[in-house]
Amino acid sequence: MSKRLVLSLLPAVAVSLAALAIFLTGCGTSRNVLFPGKEGPRVFGGVRYDAETAVECVAGPPAAKKPETDPAGAKPAETITAAPKTPAPRPFQLADFLTSVADAPFSVAADTVTLPWVLYDRAREVADRRKQASQPPATTEKP
């Protein structure tokens, strides 16, 4: 390869390596910002995601909350519940734990950088809800 070709590819390689470094470090933050849940991105959501992953690796997945009534309307005492199942061990549990612990400091840094954007997003969401709540409901009365 010629020197000119190598020099022309250098910026693309540098950008690719920088993007790879960003997505490999602070991946909890990347998940929080790029793929938020129903409630939107959370404040320090990357650190929360790393902590939840580490706890899940040690203690297992969180237990599901038992509803007050079942869909048929029976009271809790009338419902028949099966014995709780022990979660099957995940094959890469140790690797997930170590990855989430190693990622936590990077997520702290990345969450701090993305904090203004997340706060703005949350404030805009609250303002939209207040605006919708203050508007009277549309009526569909016919004269």
**CB-side exposure of 79: number of CA atoms within 13 Å?**
14
The span from the CA of 37 to the CA of 138, in Å, is 30
| Whether the Cβ atoms of residue 52 and residue 59 lie closer than 8 Å to each other | no
The span from the CA of 40 to the CA of 37, in Å, is 5
* DSSP secondary structure letter of residue 91: T
In tens digits, the chain (143 residues) has pLDDT values of 677 777 777 888 888 777 666 555 567 888 888 888 787 888 998 899 889 888 888 877 666 555 555 555 555 554 555 545 555 555 667 878 888 888 888 889 889 998 999 999 889 888 988 988 888 776 666 65
Domain boundaries, the chain: 1-61+101-133
| Whether the Cβ atoms of residue 121 and residue 40 lie closer than 8 Å to each other | yes
